[in-house]
Copies of this chain bind each other. A is one copy, B any other.
Amino acid sequence: MVEPTSRPAARLEIFALPDFPLVEAGDDLAGPILDGVARLGLVLAPQDVVVLAQKVVSKAEGRLVRLADVVPSARATALAQEVRKDARLVELILAESVRVVRTRPDVLIVEHRLGLVMANAGIDQSNIRHDGGEAALLLPLDPDASAGRLRADIGRRAGVAPAVVINDSFGRPWRRGTTGIAIGAAGLPSMIDRRGETDLFGRTLRATMIAHADEIAASASLVMGQSTEATPVVLVRGLQWTAPDNPAATLIRTPEEDLFR
């Protein structure tokens, strides 16, 4: 029997970082994370995972766009009518996307330039400061790189670099409701490939590609709740992996292997 690449953890703990401040463009995230960990009375350890809501990363990176500054194209205006959304928002969605995947009144599913198939290109209008007008928050430019930078920042200051996951709430084609998934990750295997390993009875495993970072993202979502900015960052402790690191982009199916795009 081949040694599993990820030992089952005996116990997982997921801590909300208390009193995380509201984040604005240019804000440092590593500092408040380390403050939050300290307030919990914890010290970062290897294979700890810091999970951040996409929203705080996007805000820190200045991805907020005032709708008043957006001039919708004719295409956006027509599509906005079809999907019953603000034409300026649709303009932003199209600008962030490479393809429209499905439309229906109140539904606009696109392929984001990052390859993510998602509603509204992940553009969020909740929990956004308005500053005298409506605003929309775009995804980080490169969430895997954002996770890597933050991991390095924390590592420099704390002496230990935790893994970092950036999560977001996604709908699913066949299932109702949203779950947290990983749009960015660094310092851990986003996918664990167990092809070739065998089960208790020596059979080759069937579910052999595990979306490890998505499961971490979902577990973090449970703790973040989804109504307030009070807990946009959580610490996941107790995972043990030996598989090599790979970024969250690994979890995106290419169009060629996608039967449903």
Partner of A178, one of B169, B207, B253: B207
Q: Is the CB of B173 within 8 A of A205?
A: no
Taking a contact as CB atoms under 8 Å apart, the answer to whether A215 and B218 are in contact is yes
Most buried by B among A175, A178, A199: A175
Stretch at the interface among A58-66, A140-148, A154-162, A222-230: A222-230
Question: Are A203 and B126 in contact, with the CB atoms below 8 A?
Answer: yes
- Taking the nearest CB of chain B, how far is it from the CB of A245, in angstroms? 15
The count of identical subunits is 2
List the B side residues contacting A229 at CB < 8 Å: 200
Does A92 touch B at the CB level, under 8 Å? no
Q: A126-B207, A127-B199, A176-B251 are in contact. List 13 more A-B contacts (CB 8 A).
A: A8-B224, A9-B222, A9-B225, A10-B223, A11-B13, A11-B16, A102-B260, A173-B173, A175-B181, A175-B211, A176-B252, A177-B192, A194-B226
